[in-house]
A and B are shown apart, each in its own frame.
Chain A
Amino acid sequence: DGGITQSPKYLFRKEGQNVTLSCEQNLNHDAMYWYRQDPGQGLRLIYYSQIVNDFQKGDIAEGYSVSREKKESFPLTVTSAQKNPTAFYLCASSRSGNQPQHFGDGTRLSIL
Chain B
Amino acid sequence: AQSVTQLDSHVSVSEGTPVLLRCNYSSSYSPSLFWYVQHPNKGLQLLLKYTSAATLVKGINGFEAEFKKSETSFHLTKPSAHMSDAAEYFCVVGRRNYGGSQGNLIFGKGTKLSVKP
Residues of A whose CB lies within 8 Å of any CB of B are 4, 6, 31, 33, 40-43, 45, 48, 50, 56-59, 61, 88, 90, 92, 94, 97-98, 100-106, 108
Chain A residue with Cβ nearest B36: A103
Chain B residues near A106 (CB, 8 Å)?
41-43
- What is the distance, in angstroms, from A20's C-beta to the closest C-beta of chain B? 19
Chain B residues near A42 (CB, 8 Å)?
90, 107-110
In the complex, the number of residue pairs spanning A and B with C-beta atoms less than 8 Å apart equals 68
Main secondary structure, interface of A, reads: strand
Contact check: which of B34, B42, B90 meets A100 at CB < 8 Å? B34
Contact check: which of B90, B94, B107, B109 meets A98 at CB < 8 Å? B94
Chain B residue with Cβ nearest A47: B103
CA–CA, A3 and B90, complex, Å: 20
Further contacts, 20 of them, CB under 8 A, given A42-B108, A43-B44, A43-B90: A31-B104, A40-B9, A42-B107, A45-B102, A48-B103, A50-B98, A56-B98, A56-B103, A57-B101, A90-B43, A92-B43, A92-B44, A97-B96, A97-B98, A100-B46, A103-B36, A104-B43, A105-B42, A106-B41, A108-B41
Chain A residues near B100 (CB, 8 Å)?
56
Contact check: which of B36, B45, B96, B102 meets A58 at CB < 8 Å? B102
